[in-house]
Amino acid sequence: QLVYPHDFRLTEKEKTSICYLSFPDSYSGGLGDTQFSFRLRQAGSARASPFQDDGSYNREAPLPLQREAAHYFGYVYFRQVKDSSMRRGYFQKSLVLVSRLPYVNLFQCLLQLIAPEYFDKLEPCLEAVCNEIDQWPPPVPGQTLNLPVMGVVIQVRIPSRVDKAGSSPVKQCNQENLLPAPLVLPSVHELDLFRCFQPVLIHIQMLWELMLLGEPMVVMAPSPTMSSEMVLALTSCLAPLRYCCDFRPYFTIHDSEFKEYTTRTQAPPNILVGVTNPFFIKTLQHWPHILRVGEPRMAGDLPKQVKVKKLAKLKTLDTKPGIYTSYKTFLHKDKTLIKRLLKGIQRKRPSEVQSALLRRHLLELTQSFIIPLEHYMASLMPLQRAITPWKNPPQIRPFCQEDFMKSLEHAGPQLTCVLKGDWLGLYRRFFKSPNFDGWFRQRHREMTQKLEALHLEAICEADIVAWMKDKSEVEIVDLVLKLREKLVRARCQHLPVKEETLQRVSLYIDTIIGSLPEDLQAVLHHP
């Protein structure tokens, strides 16, 4: 019905997809308001972002919170109430916020404020809200933002890549001079993991492995809210590692990728997909891992846990909750974690404390797995003394899986993790996954940039006049061109180099040009 701001361009394909993804896909008898989220592949050519961002946000934000280039997130507030004046007897409407940022908590909180007002006052309400949002500061990693909207100030801190992993969020500041007192969000994106994972707590180890290996997996849930929360919770299990596969928190049979995912002529893609329509049980039963969750149920004081079942049992439409897979975990179960969580339930420990326990456990598990890889990768970096000013920087040595495996004997995950099991088998399988590929490319890029930066510093320390003494004009001109290219690259790629180093290189270039004959000077000053 309405897109606001009006000048935001969506293709027809995107509009259709957003419409289908904004409503429950299967019969939902529930009345009232529900919230959920989806993720959508951008259709058509790349579009410039309305935000002036030179890439600094993505360089400073934690990897899982980077702005997406090829996908949109949709945050939905859906209302269904009885209304005899409507043809179907119901008022059904959704307000959707579309963003490239995965700030699920912030945007769902914003919708809770805007949507009820919008359903009542329609477009004038959106216009007023958008005018306020236009005044918000851009999200800068590491900063606490005060975001005024509809008479409320939302206060939230944007996480930064340099935050210490696992530390509690920095205490919010500047509260004393804000009236009314702000609505403080503890996190822009972290879900209540304990609540999301309640039916699968005893299988958390298996789910972590499946995420780490980027295995194709379907989450079947009774509602888009449960499906999208479970998918987002699963992708967040790997922090601080980025989940590099495709994921769809909520997916419908009308989706343009439906055929691509349900075809049986090729293996299922590396994707995590959340669905609610029972029809998917039939179309996706060839997938290797299916997590079916029901409405949350308690068994006495404890949340009812689903069982691991064979895929062959998945034939019926009234499939019972369970993890349908033939996957055998590489690591043994961590019984101490489960005991601590159960004790927390019996003592009625608050959900956020249980979530912190769970998040800490998953973080330590991921770090134990990734630290040996980081150490090995660092050993492939050339020594600093091998970087000389007048030669190209040396290459990073190739990653050899067998050498890495040998290094595990004395520097493996057993140093930081008590869990026993087949760690070597887990690494071998990880090497074939999109998550290893994504991690390796990111690290390699960062190391290459570090080498470039060290090379520029080496050039600054060198005695350029002594070097020029016995060089021909051709060699000197060649050096000028190479240094210029390096400067441009350093600025474009925002290499980790001090500004004074870049200025000194610039000064060097001017000094060298000044020593050349005038005709060459003119050419080099105005190339």
| Domain end among 414, 432, 450 | 432
The residue among 77, 1, 12, 83 whose CA lies nearest residue 38 is 77
- Residue 210 is assigned to a structural domain of this protein: yes
Digit-coded pLDDT (tens) for 296-311: 777 666 778 889 888 8
Digit-coded pLDDT (tens) for 323-378: 999 999 999 988 899 899 888 988 888 989 999 999 999 999 999 999 999 999 99
- Residue 373 is assigned to a structural domain of this protein: yes
SS3 513: helix
Examine the pLDDT at 118 and tell me if it is beyond 50: yes
- Residue 49 is assigned to a structural domain of this protein: yes
DSSP output for 58-91: HHHS-GGGSPPSSEEEEEEEEEEEE-TTSTTSEE
Specify whether the CB–CB gap between 216 and 270 falls below 8 A: yes
Specify whether the CB–CB gap between 186 and 201 falls below 8 A: no
- Residue 479 is assigned to a structural domain of this protein: no
Residues 136 and 224 in one domain: no
Specify whether the CB–CB gap between 188 and 182 falls below 8 A: no
Specify whether the CB–CB gap between 357 and 344 falls below 8 A: yes
Q: What is the domain count for the chain?
A: 2
How many Cβ atoms sit within 10 Å of the Cβ of residue 385?
7
Residues 244 and 145 in one domain: no
Residues 245 and 106 in one domain: no
What's the whole-number mean pLDDT along residues 172-184?
64
> Going by C-beta distance under 8 Å and a sequence separation of 6 or more, which residues neighbour residue 379?
407
Share of the chain above pLDDT 70, in %: 93
Examine the pLDDT at 389 and tell me if it is beyond 60: yes
Token pair listed for 364: 């330590």
Digit-coded pLDDT (tens) for 398-440: 999 999 999 988 888 877 788 889 999 999 999 999 999 999 9
Residues 264 and 374 in one domain: yes
Residues 223 and 282 in one domain: yes
> How far is residue 323's CA from residue 203's CA, in Å, rounded to a whole number?
9
- Residue 426 is assigned to a structural domain of this protein: yes
> How far is residue 244's CA from residue 135's CA, in Å, rounded to a whole number?
33
Q: Which domain holds residue 252?
A: 192-432
> Going by C-beta distance under 8 Å and a sequence separation of 6 or more, which residues neighbour residue 132?
148, 149, 150
CA distances from 299 to 34, 302, 319, 351, 461 (A): 26, 5, 20, 18, 70
Residues 246 and 343 in one domain: yes
Digit-coded pLDDT (tens) for 37-53: 999 998 877 666 655 66
> How far is residue 193's CA from residue 187's CA, in Å, rounded to a whole number?
13
Residues 294 and 398 in one domain: yes
Strand ranges (E), 297-372: 298-299, 302-303, 308-309, 322-325
Range with the poorest average pLDDT among 63-67, 117-121, 423-427, 494-498: 494-498
What CATH number has the domain bearing residue 424? Answer: 3.40.50.11500
Residues 94 and 196 in one domain: no
> Going by C-beta distance under 8 Å and a sequence separation of 6 or more, which residues neighbour residue 44?
11, 13, 14
Residues 240 and 210 in one domain: yes
- 166 band by pLDDT with thresholds 50, 70 and 90: low
Tokens 């009542």 locate to 120
Per-residue confidence (pLDDT) for residue 137, from 0 to 100: 93
What's the whole-number mean pLDDT along residues 34-39?
95
Residues 275 and 371 in one domain: yes
| Domain end among 432, 465, 500 | 432
Range with the poorest average pLDDT among 110-119, 347-356, 451-460, 465-474: 465-474
| Domain end among 411, 432, 453 | 432
- Residue 518 is assigned to a structural domain of this protein: no
- Residue 98 is assigned to a structural domain of this protein: yes
What's the whole-number mean pLDDT along residues 205-211?
96
Residues 394 and 335 in one domain: yes
* Max Cα-Cα span within the chain: 93
SS3 402: helix
> How far is residue 93's CA from residue 91's CA, in Å, rounded to a whole number?
7
Q: Tell me if the pTM is above 0.95.
A: no
CA dihedral 229, 231, 233, 238 (to 10 degrees): -170
- Residue 25 is assigned to a structural domain of this protein: yes
Residues 220 and 179 in one domain: no
CA dihedral 101, 20, 207, 317 (to 10 degrees): 170
- 27 band by pLDDT with thresholds 50, 70 and 90: low
> How far is residue 78's CA from residue 25's CA, in Å, rounded to a whole number?
12
The residue among 191, 219, 249 whose CA lies nearest residue 37 is 249
Torsions phi, psi for 184 (to 5 deg): -90, 125
DSSP output for 116-181: HHHHHH-HHHHHHHHHHHHTSPP--TT-EEEEEETTEEEEEEPP-TTSPTTPPPPPP---TT-SSP
